[in-house]
Structures are given as structure tokens and as C-alpha cells.
């Protein structure tokens, strides 16, 4: 392997990072009506359930080290005052929302929750919180649902496996890791790739929203996110240095800038996220649809596969930035 390839290698920089994808199959006890982006309502319901039942300091007054001691706040609301891009650190949890915004009584639906790095240890908390979320209700009118089953899922090979059905619980085996990413990347084309953005993807460059998936911008945001997640949640003892990440980001950005957009079927989706705590709504709009990139893809393939698992852009914890590589 050349020095250049070593510098940009996801296997080197993301060693110790894993993603555990969970799929929850639920049945509506009464009609369910979500907002513009169902992931926003699911995130809010999950946060409430985790806070009500697992937060170690349920009052509004938190001790200084509360976020690192409380599993709920570590998972959903970690802040770092020294973080270079602001106080908020990327959450080690993402949501993959259901296909529709409305479901009738008795209908089944599926949504996903992915746990990144050390967050996989909190899998039992998340499963129990989803059960409570169904009991308490979610979305407009707080519609209730019943949890039927939990599967683990791998987007690398599009396979799933039952984790929990009733009270039978199995040990997860399909986590995404560097070795499995490398195996899948080797099967992808080295000169073209098609990406399908399933939920609104919100990317910015120099303070401006991007209305189409520009390769250089998307790769830059993806590298930043992967670095953030690896530094805070990776389980490897010796992690890559800031200098290594900087060199990789520069080299990968140069490669991405040379890619061309062969075609795209992209549309812009307007969506808002409401915060009961803050009493206001914030935009979580973004683009969806398919794009084909062409050019030298060899070093980028693994990174794009990681993005498939960790999602990209803003508001991933609300379901944004979820995409699939389809060729």
C-alpha cells in the first residue's frame, strides 16, 4: 500500500469504530401521524422515554460532570466546550425513519436506530425506551404502538437477523466495522457510484446550503463527522492524530473535487422540526433522490460506505442524511 493510500485509509483512521444497526417492527395501536420528518418525532419520543426512565438526574439542575456519567445524556446530549466546531459533539445515535408519515390503526411499520461505537453497550436501554415510547405515544396526538420485534441489520449486504421476539434475545453479530467495510468496498466500481438519499440531507459549505450533493462538499462533511465520531466513541486505545486526519481530509477532498456528476434526480424537501422544550421550530430541510458520481473512486469507496452507516450532514439524530449506495 502506498503512503498516500495509508494516509487516506479508513481502516487506519477508523480502527475501533463500529455501528450496530437496529430495526424495530411495531404495530399501531391507534392511528399514528408524524410531522414533516418522522425521524424528528421519533427522536423526541426516544429522548423523553430515556430521560424519564434512565436519566440519573431527572431535574433541570445537572452537575458539571453529569453528561459523562449519565448514559442517557451521554447518548443524546453530550457537549464538549473545547470541541473545534462548537459545543455540541456528534451524537453516537442516528435514526432511520419509517417510509410514511401516517399509519392507520393496526398497521405495521419499521424504523431504525443505529448505535455508533461505545453506544452499542446501551442497546438494552434503547430497546426498553422504544417499548415505553410506544406506550406513551409519539407524533401528533401521541399515537401509541406496540413493539413486535427487533432485528439487527447490515446495509453492506442488505441482510438482517432477529435479535428479539417477545422475550428471546440473541447476541448481535452483524455490526459494521472496518474489515467488513473494506470487503464490501472491494466489490464496488472504482470509477463510478450511485447514491440514493432516502431522507433530507442538509449540507453546508461556507455558511451556504447545498441544493445538490456536490462530491467535494459531501466528502468534506463526511470526513469531519467520521473524525468526530471516532475521537469520541471509538473503542480503539491508540487513535489517529489530528495531523493524520488533516492530511486525509485534504487528500480526499482533492480526489472528490475531481469527480463529476454524471446525472442526478434530486429534489429539495422542506421540513421543520418542533421542540417542545424550546417552544419553536427549526428547519431540517434537505435534498433527497439519486445522484451518479464518476471519476477515480478507489480511496473514497470505504468512506462513502461509512457514511451509509453513520449518515451525513446536519440533524442525523432526527433521521436526516440517510443514504444507500445502490451501485
2-38 b/e (C-beta count within 10 Å ≥ 16 → b): eeeeebbbbeebbbbbbbbbbbbebebeebbebbbbb
The CATH code belonging to domain 19-169 is 3.30.70.1890
DSSP state of 101: S
| pLDDT value of position 58 | 60
| pLDDT value of position 274 | 61
- List beta partners, residue 256: none
Q: Is the pTM of this model over 0.85?
A: yes
- List beta partners, residue 108: 27
Identical fold between 3-16+178-325 and 19-169: yes
Check residue 151 and give left, alpha or beta (phi > 0: left; psi -120 to 50: alpha). Answer: beta
- Averaged in consecutive runs of 10 residues, what is the pLDDT profile of the chain (327 residues)? 64 94 97 88 92 76 69 72 58 95 97 96 94 94 95 96 85 96 96 97 94 96 96 83 94 96 96 66 91 97 98 95 94
- For residues 38 and 101, the answer to whether their CB atoms sit within 8 Å is yes
The CATH code belonging to domain 3-16+178-325 is 3.30.70.1900
148-175 b/e (C-beta count within 10 Å ≥ 16 → b): ebbbbbbbbeeeeeebbeeeeeeebebe
Enumerate the domain spans of the chain.
3-16+178-325, 19-169
| pLDDT value of position 8 | 73
Amino acid at each position: 500500500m502506498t503512503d498516500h493510500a495509508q494516509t487516506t485509509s479508513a481502516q487506519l483512521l477508523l480502527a475501533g469504530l463500529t455501528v450496530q444497526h437496529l430495526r424495530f417492527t411495531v404495530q399501531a395501536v391507534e392511528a399514528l401521524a408524524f410531522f414533516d420528518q418522522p425521524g424528528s418525532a421519533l427522536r423526541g419520543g426516544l429522548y423523553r422515554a430515556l430521560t424519564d426512565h434512565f436519566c440519573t438526574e431527572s431535574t433541570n439542575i445537572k452537575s458539571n460532570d453529569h453528561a459523562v456519567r449519565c448514559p442517557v445524556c451521554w447518548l443524546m446530549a453530550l457537549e464538549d466546550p473545547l470541541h473545534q466546531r462548537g459545543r455540541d459533539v456528534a451524537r453516537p445515535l442516528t435514526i432511520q425513519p419509517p417510509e410514511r408519515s401516517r399509519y392507520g390503526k393496526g398497521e405495521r411499520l419499521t424504523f431504525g436506530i443505529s448505535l455508533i461505537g461505545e453506544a452499542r453497550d446501551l442497546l438494552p436501554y434503547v430497546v426498553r425506551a422504544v417499548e415505553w415510547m410506544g406506550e406513551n405515544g409519539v407524533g401528533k396526538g401521541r399515537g401509541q404502538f406496540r413493539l413486535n420485534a427487533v432485528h439487527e441489520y447490515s446495509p453492506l449486504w442488505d441482510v438482517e437477523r432477529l435479535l428479539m421476539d417477545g422475550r428471546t434475545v440473541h447476541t448481535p453479530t452483524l455490526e459494521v466495522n472496518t474489515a467488513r467495510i473494506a470487503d464490501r468496498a472491494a466489490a464496488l466500481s472504482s470509477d463510478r457510484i450511485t447514491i440514493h438519499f432516502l431522507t433530507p440531507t442538509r449540507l453546508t459549505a461556507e455558511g451556504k446550503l447545498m441544493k445538490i450533493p456536490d462530491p467535494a462538499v459531501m466528502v468534506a462533511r463526511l470526513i469531519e463527522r467520521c473524525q468526530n465520531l471516532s475521537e469520541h466513541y471509538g473503542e480503539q486505545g491508540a487513535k489517529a492524530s489530528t495531523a493524520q486526519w488533516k492530511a486525509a481530509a485534504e487528500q480526499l477532498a482533492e480526489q472528490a473535487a475531481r469527480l463529476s456528476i454524471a446525472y442526478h434526480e434530486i429534489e429539495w424537501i422542506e421540513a421543520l422540526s418542533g421542540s417542545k422544550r424550546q417552544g419553536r421550530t427549526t428547519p431540517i430541510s434537505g435534498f433527497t433522490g439519486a445522484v451518479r458520481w464518476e471519476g477515480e473512486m478507489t480511496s473514497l469507496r470505504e468512506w462513502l460506505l461509512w457514511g451509509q452507516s453513520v449518515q451525513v450532514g446536519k440533524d442525523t439524530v432526527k433521521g436526516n442524511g440517510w443514504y444507500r449506495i445502490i451501485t
